[in-house]
Amino acid sequence: MAAAPGDSLTTDADRMHATSDEAAALIDGVLAYARRRVLYEDVPLDKPLSPKDLARLAGDTITADGIGERRAISLFEHVLAPACLSTDHPAYLSFIPSAPSKASVAFDVIVSASSVYGGSWQEGSGAVFAENDVLHFLAREFGLPAEAGGVFVQGGTIGNLSALVAARDAARRRNRAAGREDPRRWVVVCSAEAHSSIASAADVMDIDIATAQPDAGGRLHGDAVARVLDEQGDAVFAVVATAGTTNFGIVDDIATIAEVTTARGVWLHVDGAYGLAAMLVPRMRQAFAGVEHADSVIVDPHKWLFAPFDACALIYRDPTGARRAHTQRAEYLDTLTEGADWNPSDLAVQLTRRARGLPLWFSLAAHGTERYRAAIDHGIELAKRIGDEIASREELSLVRDPQLSVVVFRREGWNAADYKAWSDRVLEEQLAFVVPSSHDGEPVLRFAIISPLTTFEKLVEILDTLR
């Protein structure tokens, strides 16, 4: 008897989801590759390929009948993965690298395998509880009150946007309570060296940015912020301070900025996506004085807290205001929004969310906080040491002394083309990934040190190629 038309479709669907020998083989193949990659001690740096070369090497990958799991895994391992730079390589020193612990990477597999929905307490209370443990630990490290809390979002851009949305909502509510009109255009104040995500958030929110000028060392102070607040008046709903600029790792004078914002009743947001993790090192905490007065902060665990992509911890001094700003209303969500539970999706601009804080939770729980403090301290000490080495070389000079783990320097006599040619060469030779940056229109080089596996000897080897 011939199968009904629907039977073959059901069979095809079952092949993707049902437990079978074929499914078991597929899972074994994927996990075997994952194990090789996580345990591979000498991970290659790798390099990008052109679209033409990838098309030639990969061929057609999406077909009606599939290419099979073995071929797909082999294609990824031998063609696609080598065309992706290993951001966790000890010689990956550009942008802000990644250095996830093996524990966090391994547990990331479990997060996916468990199909945990991390948007609501009702559906993922165990996962949310663990994430909240991490958020409360970080809040204590930053000096925030016991009632502080938040959510893990995709990255610093979403974290900054969500915090500013909550800040504007709080300003609107204050105006309504006082019977005041909202300004024609809202304004957020930040340093001229603030991260580009602040400008991106302003574009999304259709608001204006007023920049306050930092000092010659790139550090923003309260007096500069006060001058801008005097100029902009009640249109300002938030001030953004930076706890570790991306290009230089400079920490703003958060204490004096907090004095100004507190006196004027303006929301203070601290963008610590890269640098705020350094507060886990006790001797560094004074550099971040004032963070304890912030209304909101972010820090990205996928940067200096050794978690896999993507994770940003967004923490509010008082999550109640964020909940008012972000909770989405819909009939099918009534069972969630009308309850007493606090849902992670109520605290940022996402609804559906992965429990992206769990890999960090597992690594912290497994290793303990002291190993984290030591690993962060390694980057700070190494930056100072290689900075001294750069200053001792006649052909090199520091642009600024490193404060955290970013070292910016120049090769005397070189222009932008020289830097580009050198950068391309050391990547082609698989020695390092160091791309040129710029400061005040001048091309410069920059080491961003995150990985505990990055050594002084490797950095010296890179410097030697600049002679």
CA distance 334 to 201: 29
CA 76 to CA 54: how far, in whole Å? 11
Confidence of residue 3 (pLDDT cuts 50, 70, 90): very low
Contact 159, 273 (CB under 8 A): yes
Portion of the chain with pLDDT greater than 70, in percent: 94
Tell me the three state secondary structure of residue 250.
Answer: coil
**448 vs 333, more confident:** 448
Closest CA to 357 of 136, 95, 122, 181: 136
The pLDDT-based confidence of 31 (bands split at 50, 70, 90) is: very high
For residue 181, the Cα-to-chain-centroid distance in whole angstroms is 36
Contacts of residue 199, defined as CB under 8 A and 6 or more positions apart, other chains included, come to 209
User: When comparing pLDDT for 270 and 10, which is higher?
Assistant: 270
If you compute the radius of gyration of the chain from its CA atoms, what whole number of angstroms results?
Answer: 24
Residues in Cβ contact with 305 at an 8 Å cutoff, skipping those fewer than 6 apart: 277, 299, 360, 372
Q: Please state the rounded mean pLDDT for residues 262-269.
A: 98
pLDDT number for residue 117: 93
pLDDT of residue 41: 84
Q: Are 128 and 118 in contact (CB under 8 A)?
A: yes
Q: In what order do the strands lie in the sheet with 312-316?
A: 149-153, 312-316, 296-299, 267-271, 236-242, 187-191, 208-212
Specify the pLDDT at position 10.
52
User: CA-CA distance, 55 to 52, in Å (whole number)?
Assistant: 5
Q: How far is CA 213 from CA 165, 251, 314, 324, in A?
A: 24, 14, 26, 33
Above 70 in pLDDT, residue 394? yes
DSSP H helices, 115-178, are 121-141, 156-178
pLDDT tens digits along 120-130: 999 999 999 99
Q: How many helices (H) and strands (E) does the chain have?
A: 17, 11
Is pLDDT at 16 greater than 80 in this prediction? no
Q: What is the pLDDT of residue 14?
A: 65
pLDDT at 433 over 70: yes
Give the C-alpha distances (Å, rounded to integers) separating 277 from 144, 151, 301, 374, 425: 14, 16, 8, 12, 33
Euclidean distance between CA atoms 136 and 461, whole angstroms:
41
Residue 328's pLDDT band (boundaries 50, 70, 90)? Answer: confident
Cβ atoms of 262 and 235 within 8 Å: the answer is: no
The closest alpha carbon to 238, from 194, 268, 198, 205, belongs to: 268
pLDDT at 28: 92
Rounded CA separation 467/461 (Å): 11
Enter the pTM of the model.
Answer: 0.94
What is the pLDDT, as a whole number, of residue 332? 61
Q: What's the pLDDT at 283?
A: 97
Bridge partner list, 407: 447
Q: How far is CA 271 from CA 50, 175, 315, in A?
A: 35, 26, 11
| Residue 279: Cβ-neighbour burial (10 angstroms; 0-12, 13-18, 19+) | buried
Predicted confidence (pLDDT) at residue 5 exceeds the cutoff of 60: no
pLDDT at 184 over 90: yes
**What are 138-158's pLDDT values in tens digits?**
999 999 999 999 999 999 999
Domains and CATH numbers, the chain: 20-86 (no CATH), 106-367 (3.40.640.10), 369-464 (3.90.1150.170)
pLDDT (tens digit, 9 = 90+) per residue, 333-363? 666 666 656 799 999 999 899 999 999 999 9
- For residue 342, the model assigns a pLDDT of 79
Q: Quick one: which of 257, 311, 248, 251 has its CA closest to 276?
A: 251
Per-residue pLDDT tens over the stretch 196-237: 999 999 999 999 999 999 999 999 999 999 999 999 999 999
Question: In sequence order, which ranges of 18-120 are alpha helices (DSSP H)?
Answer: 21-39, 51-58, 69-75, 102-114
pLDDT at 257 over 80: yes
Residue 179, phi then psi, degrees to nearest 5 = 75, 25
Report CA-CA distances (Å) from 285 to 142, 255, 292, 434.
Answer: 9, 12, 11, 29
Is pLDDT of 408 > 90? yes
**Crossing angle (nearest 10°) for helices 156-178 and 196-205:** 50
E runs forming strands in 232-275: 236-242, 267-271
Neighbours of 247 (CB within 10 A): 18
Q: What is the DSSP letter of 434?
A: -
Cα 365 from chain centroid?
21
Average pLDDT, the chain: 94
Q: How far is CA 264 from the centre of its chain?
A: 30
Q: What angle is formed at CA 89 by the lines to CA 305 and CA 423, rounded to 5 degrees?
A: 120
Which pLDDT value is given to residue 266?
98
DSSP state of 251: B
How far, CA to CA in Å, does 110 sit from each of 90, 113, 188, 408? 26, 5, 40, 39
Phi, then psi, of 154 in degrees rounded to 5: -65, -45
Work out the average pLDDT over 50-68: 95
pLDDT-derived band at 1, boundaries 50, 70, 90: very low
Q: Which amino acid is at 142?
A: F
